Amino acid sequence: MFLWSWRYGLANCGIITNFAHYFMIEIRNIVKRFGELEVLKGIDLDIVPAAVTSIVGPSGAGKTTLLQIIGTLMTPDGGTIKYGEENVFALSDSRLSAFRNRNIGFVFQFHQLLPEFSLRENVAMPALIGGESRQVAFSRADELIKRLGLSERSDHRPTELSGGECQRAAVARALVNRPSVVLADEPTGSLDSKNRNELHRLFFELRDEIKATFVIVTHDERLAADSDRIVHMEDGRIGHLTVK
């Protein structure tokens, strides 16, 4: 199984020791409106490092909007987010883009792999965008592809891959820049039970092996139940926080 190599191989390939510094993410009084609709109503939350935090709640609660703001993909109408001491929305557009590329990995429900590129090229893409040489970018991509059991599919395009393979490739892409934070929006939502369970296990092995921080929006009750912290949202607010 592809998970075996994460358990025994990461320390030997430099992936653990070269990950970015860990951040406490401080979210303070985040407000977001779309027209007259107030979607987020003063969110206060701390995301602790090296843990899996799940965000749960009914549809329309504001979960994905909050995740996109945490990932700096969307700008709030009020409030601040700090990664460590860095107030990210005080950065210029170019510095914010560089910060995002270097420190945040993303996994989406429908993988978002670029169809015109191979699996290998998709995984290497964030490193290339971040200014790494082709040699470094593809070396990192090859290590991750191997560790996730995808070597035989490396030159295939997304349309030639299964749903589970595409999501594993998306996880590899999220990790290629060795970020400190991985944000995932319903990452198991489009998978069958076998692939859902494998991806579920992978997140927790990565938490333990590379001490990465995961923030996951999910309706998967098992994934949420196993998380270190569960943020319960309703109507644009945090109802309560469960900490294990």
Picking from 9-13, 52-56, 65-69, 196-200, which range would have the lowest pLDDT averaged per residue? 9-13
pLDDT above 90: residue 2: no
Name the amino acid, one letter, at 60.
Answer: G
pLDDT value at position 133? Answer: 95
Instruction: Give the three-class secondary structure for 31.
Output: strand
Tens digit of pLDDT for each residue in 141-186? 999 898 888 999 999 999 999 888 898 899 889 988 888 899 999 8
Q: Nearest Cα to 176, choosing from 83, 244, 76, 107?
A: 107
Domain extent listing, the chain: 3-243
pLDDT at 7 over 60: no
pTM: 0.83
Please name which of 46, 108, 96 lies closest in space to residue 72, comparing C-alpha atoms.
96
- Mean pLDDT, rounded, of the chain: 87
Q: Which residue has the tokens 């092995």?
A: 205
Amino acid at 213: T
CA distance 121 to 128: 9
Q: What is the pLDDT of residue 23?
A: 66
Please, are residues 186 and 112 in contact by the beta-carbon 8 Å criterion? no
pLDDT tens for residues 98-144?
999 889 999 887 778 999 999 999 999 999 988 999 999 999 999 98
CATH 3.40.50.300, domain 3-243, yes or no:
yes
Give pLDDT tens digits for 69-83.
999 999 999 999 999
pLDDT value at residue 91: 96
Backbone angles phi, psi at 2, to 5 degrees: -65, -25
User: Given pLDDT bands bounded at 50, 70 and 90, which one contains residue 21?
Assistant: low
Residues in contact with 170: Cβ distance below 8 Å, sequence separation at least 6, in sequence order: 107, 108, 111, 112, 113, 187
pLDDT at 242: 94
SS3 173: helix
Give CA 28 to chain center in angstroms: 21
Q: How far is CA 51 from the centre of its chain?
A: 12
Give the percent of the chain with pLDDT over 90. Answer: 59
In sign, the C-alpha dihedral spanning 235, 236, 239, 241 is positive
pLDDT for the residue 102? 87
